[in-house]
């Protein structure tokens, strides 16, 4: 976990100079998290509308349905804006950095920036989901926190190992002129990413088992059980996506480090 935090902090400070560039990226990341949480709110309102279907007047039922549809459409448009605008944000930030001002758009810094943006969004989503579940069911949220910390700690170990391995591949190419076999580079990164995703899924299985027990014992209402189920799925998606982003980040970071070493020489 400390490895992930340190890597993101250091790369964030290097790639995005102080001031508005950092604020823009943070706002975009928060927007991505808000959009994801809004889906849970839509689900909650949808369940409430369906549950009260027989008690609502037809006109009000239709109005609530239309309002829910409009809200969901606005969230989708916001997500489109968030994902498209970040390219412009990266471009403006990089223009202020002389060492990558004239680099090709496919350089490692661009790859790192995209992964950092995705990881910040995922981290904000995880925090938002944790708070959302805590508001609904505090005891389940505590169990969720334990599982979340364990999974993230394991992802940190995978990142640390993958950084060493990718730097080793890059330095081997630098010294001998021979790149590692394609299957070695891709296989190690994909295996690490999917291992992290598998561990995250294992955590979700534990949470779903606990959720069923809470629901069966009557500790959690049916409506909240459904909402928490989708919240844990969203959390698992963030962890899975985060695992893959971390391993792609490791590859990009290794390329940037080796290139910087060449420039220093």
pLDDT in tens, the chain (265 residues): 788 888 888 877 777 766 676 777 777 777 777 777 777 877 777 777 777 656 667 777 778 778 878 877 887 787 777 777 777 777 776 666 654 444 444 577 778 888 888 888 888 889 889 988 999 899 999 999 999 999 999 999 999 999 988 888 777 666 666 655 666 667 888 999 999 999 999 999 999 999 999 998 988 888 889 889 999 998 999 999 999 999 999 888 887 764 555 444 4
Neighbours of 55 (CB within 10 A): 8
Q: What is the pLDDT of residue 8?
A: 82
Neighbours of 262 (CB within 10 A): 9
pTM of the full structure: 0.79
Q: What is the pLDDT of residue 12?
A: 78
Q: What is the pLDDT of residue 110?
A: 76
Q: What is the pLDDT of residue 258?
A: 47
Q: What is the pLDDT of residue 156?
A: 93
Helices 20-51, 108-136: inter-axial angle, 10-degree rounding: 40
Q: Under CATH, to which class is 2-264 assigned?
A: mainly alpha
Q: What is the pLDDT of residue 265?
A: 46
Q: What is the pLDDT of residue 181?
A: 61
Q: Where are the domains of the chain?
A: 2-264
* Cα-based angle 153, 157, 163 (whole degrees, multiple of 5): 135
Helices 2-15, 222-264: inter-axial angle, 10-degree rounding: 60
Q: What is the pLDDT of residue 88?
A: 75
CA distance 28 to 67: 25
Q: What is the pLDDT of residue 264?
A: 47
DSSP element (H, E) containing 22: helix 20-51
């Amino acid at each position: 976990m400390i490895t992930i935090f340190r890597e993101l902090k250091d790369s964030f400070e290097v790639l995005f100079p102080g001031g508005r560039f950092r604020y823009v990226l943070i706002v975009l990341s928060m927007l991505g998290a808000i959009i994801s949480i809004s889906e849970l709110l839509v689900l909650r309102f949808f369940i409430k509308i369906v549950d009260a279907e027989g008690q609502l007047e037809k006109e009000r039922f239709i109005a609530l349905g239309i309002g829910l549809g409009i809200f969901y459409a606005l969230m989708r448009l916001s997500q489109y804006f968030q994902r498209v605008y970040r390219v412009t944000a990266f471009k403006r930030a990089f223009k202020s950095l002389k060492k990558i001002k004239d680099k090709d758009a496919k350089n490692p810094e661009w790859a790192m920036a995209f992964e950092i943006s995705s990881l910040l969004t995922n981290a904000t989503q995880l925090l938002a989901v944790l708070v959302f579940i805590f508001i609904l069911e505090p005891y389940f949220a505590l169990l969720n926190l334990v599982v979340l910390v364990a999974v993230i700690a394991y992802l940190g170990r995978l990142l640390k190992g993958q950084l060493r391995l990718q730097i080793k591949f890059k330095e081997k190419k630098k010294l001998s002129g021979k790149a590692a076999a394609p299957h070695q580079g891709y296989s190690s990164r994909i295996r690490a990413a999917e291992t992290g995703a598998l561990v995250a899924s294992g955590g979700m299985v534990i949470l779903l088992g606990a959720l069923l027990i809470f629901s069966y014992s009557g500790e959690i209402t049916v409506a909240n059980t459904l909402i928490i189920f989708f919240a844990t799925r969203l959390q698992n998606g963030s962890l899975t996506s985060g695992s893959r982003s971390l391993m792609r980040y490791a590859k990009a970071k290794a390329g940037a480090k080796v290139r910087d070493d060449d420039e220093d020489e």
